[in-house]
Structure 1
Amino acid sequence: MLPKLSLILGGANSGKSAFAEALVMAESHPRIYIATAQAFDDEMRQKVQSHLVQRGPNWKTIEAPLTTSDALENLPEDTVVLLDCATMWLSNHMLAETDLAAEQAKLLDALKACPAQVVVVSNEVGLDVVPENALARRFRNAQGALNQAIAKQADLAVLVVAGLPMVLKGELP
């Protein structure tokens, strides 16, 4: 059985989403997918469609690129939620120029209060070179802080590299 809150980290195309989906699929509870991506171009629309097909019909999808905290409220206790992903959520808020500290606090509170089991997918962006521009450095720092805050609350934290999971905190079910 999955713990109350799990964090699955990895780089781009590391296999983190597939690993997180497999964890959720192993649960017998109804599945909810909270999507944070916004499809602004054909490539992203194709990626979103590919993820829908990959998950199959046994998922309820909630699109919440900016309202993820609200989407976590009032979910049934007997469900398992895949929030994919915290990185897109952060990007959305940075582009919308919202108060990141307030939004992060709201998200962390919502994760804590959510009665369902939640699996959060997020990119690990701190393993690369220092970005060359201020916006990219601001994003990297904000993403690192968000990942640390979620990991602190999480019962399970897993880093996925080349499709291989490495448990950082807790135990896999």
Structure 2
Amino acid sequence: MQLALYPQGETVLAQIILVTGGARSGKSSHAEARARALPGARLYIATARAEDAEMRARIARHVADRGEGWITIEAPIDLAGALDRCDGRGPRLVDCLTLWLSNLMLEGRDWEPEAEHLVAALARQKSPVILVSNEVGMGIVPDNALARAFRDAQGWLNQRVARVAHEVEFVVSGLPMRVK
């Protein structure tokens, strides 16, 4: 772990935190609270794309729930680059890895090299990074090849990020459980 010096002069331990859980489990709210507890400007790295009315409404709800005081950086594809470009400016909240992976797969990109770039970027960060990701492999086996490929890729991505994370939390019904 590395120490990061913030503009106010305080030094904090840079850390990688993965917050995972099911849909509507409270993982984003929990991750936001973790970010608010850290010193410095709070940066929100958004991976969602507002491509339809329903997604625009979801994004608007997230922005409203988050409240004031966040700097938003959009990174639907180049997540590793976004982390590198804003490192040292304060804690970053990435919401979420699931949408990022979906964006990669929908563009026909090979997600595995992108995941390796992300893991390498996480290892060199000086400021804290909190990543939100869905745990999608706990339900029924999907009935089509694309959905099964996505479920498998999400599980493998979560494992890779969890390996480099200093902390992993699983959120169930709004309650976080420390896993690592």
Q: Do they superpose with TM above 0.5?
A: yes
| TM-score in terms of structure 1 length | 0.93
**Is the Cα contact below 8 Å between 1:73 and 1:114 reproduced in 2?**
yes
Q: 3-state SS of the aligned residue for 1:82?
A: strand
* Structure 1 contact 75–116 (Cα < 8 Å) conserved: no
Structure 1 residues not aligned, in runs of 5+: none
Q: TM-score, normalised by structure 2?
A: 0.90
Are 2:24 and 1:13 equivalent residues in the alignment?
yes
Distance in 1 between residues matched to 2:81 and 2:45, nearest whole Å: 11
CA-based RMSD of the aligned residues comes to 1.3
Aligned to 1:128, which of 128, 139, 163? 139
SS at match of 1:91: helix
1:105 to 109, 113, 116: 116
Give the number of equivalent residue pairs: 169
* Counterpart Cα distance in 2 of 1:161 and 1:21: 16
1:149 aligns with one of 135, 144, 160 = 160
Tell me which stretches of 4 or more aligned residues in structure 1 moved more than 6 Å: none
- 5+ residue gaps in structure 2? 1-11
Q: Give the percent of matched residue pairs that are identical in Structure 1 and Structure 2.
A: 48
Structure 1 residues 106-131: Cα deviation after superposition (integer angstroms, max 9, x where no partner): 11111111221000000001111111
TM-superposed deviation, 1:78 = 5.2
Structure 2 counterpart of 1:67, one-letter code: D
**1:83 alignment partner, SS class:** strand
Paired residue for 2:107, among 71, 96, 107? 96
Give deviations 1:41-77, integer Å, cap 9, x for gaps: 1111011111112212211000110011110013243
Kindly tell me: are residues 2 and 129 of structure 1, through their superposed partners in 2, closer, same or farther at Cα, counting changes over 3 Å?
farther
